């Protein structure tokens, strides 16, 4: 029963919008690729997106240095390239598309990895990238950056040779606030992290606040999020970019 409840919560956009919306976005990207597209999933981990790319020539990369409980599905999937993401042993222009979801914050030199994506993509190839704007420490000790802004994405991608850069927020600030409300409710659950006496004192207040923190605020946030125009506290961004073709050498046809 508890396992079923957890599964329902992980697939409900009211309580797990970050993951649900990101999975939808990846599914849309995958569906838009023609059959036979050569795709490299960088930092693939458990390979949760493999079924979405069944119509493609799908390859995976990861450094495989995390513990099973640090991965989405409790272990690594089939990894084709076990290596540093900044030095993937594949020839230039080997792929038509590169997917990289929630990975670059775990890389000590993310700009080098973006340059590697540019090397691996053919001219006109597509990069599909997601990264947080703000996140708590996770998958430690391999977590080096708190997040990336739209201006970082545009500057680094342009410098690496990408064009047609599109950056969209994964929901707005109100949704972000709802996530933190849920995190507060879970993190202050009596007898979970608090010692016995503080738990006993906090329990009645926690029970009174729980419907607000885990019910009213997420619901209100979902309804109000469409009115957030600035999106300064969004959870993260979904980014697409196209590998720019090399400029022709002057004097050549």
pLDDT tens figures, 97-130: 999 999 999 999 999 999 999 999 999 999 999 9
CB neighbour burial string for 191-230, b if at least 16 within 10 angstroms, e if fewer = eeebeeeebeebeeebeebeeebbeebbeebbeebeebee
Mean pLDDT of the chain: 93
Condensed to tens digits (0 to 9), the pLDDT of residues 67-89 reads 998 998 889 999 999 999 999 99
Burial class (CB in 10 A: 0-12, 13-18, 19+), 87: exposed
Model confidence at 9: pLDDT above 70 = no
| pLDDT at residue 4 is higher than 80 | no
- pLDDT band of residue 193 (cuts 50, 70, 90) is confident
CA distance 215 to 234: 20
Rg (CA), the chain: 20
**pLDDT surpasses 50 at 138:** yes
Q: Could you tell me what percent of the chain has a pLDDT over 70?
A: 93
- The CA-atom distances, in angstroms, between 184 and each of 10, 16, 111, 190, 209 are 17, 14, 33, 12, 11
pLDDT at 3 over 90: no
User: Which residues contact residue 62 at a Cβ distance below 8 angstroms, ignoring those fewer than 6 apart?
Assistant: 42, 43, 44, 45, 76, 79, 81, 82
Q: Which residues pair with 30 in a beta bridge?
A: none
């Amino acid at each position: 029963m508890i396992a079923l409840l957890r599964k329902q919560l992980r697939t409900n956009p009211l309580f797990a919008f970050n993951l649900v919306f990101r999975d939808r976005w990846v599914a849309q990207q995958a569906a838009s690729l023609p059959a036979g597209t050569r795709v490299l999933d960088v930092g693939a981990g458990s390979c949760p997106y493999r079924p979405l790319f069944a119509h493609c020539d799908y390859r995976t990369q990861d450094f495989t240095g995390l513990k099973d409980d640090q991965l989405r599905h409790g272990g690594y999937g089939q990894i084709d390239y076990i290596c540093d993401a900044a030095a993937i042993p594949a020839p230039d222009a080997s792929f038509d598309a590169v997917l990289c979801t929630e990975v670059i914050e775990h890389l000590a030199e993310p700009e080098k990895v973006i340059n590697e994506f540019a090397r691996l993509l053919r001219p006109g190839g597509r990069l599909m990238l997601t990264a947080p704007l703000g996140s708590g420490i996770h998958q430690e000790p391999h977590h080096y950056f708190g997040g990336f802004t739209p201006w970082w994405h545009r500057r680094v991608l342009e410098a690496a040779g990408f064009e047609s850069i599109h950056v969209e927020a994964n929901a707005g600030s109100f949704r972000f606030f709802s996530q933190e409300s849920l995190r507060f409710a879970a993190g202050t659950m009596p007898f979970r992290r608090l010692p016995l006496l503080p738990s006993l004192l906090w329990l009645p207040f926690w029970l009174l606040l729980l419907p607000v923190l885990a019910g009213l605020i997420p619901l209100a946030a979902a309804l109000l999020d469409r009115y957030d125009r600035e999106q300064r506290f969004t959870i993260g961004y979904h980014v697409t970019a196209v590998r720019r073709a090399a400029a022709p050498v002057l004097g050549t046809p």
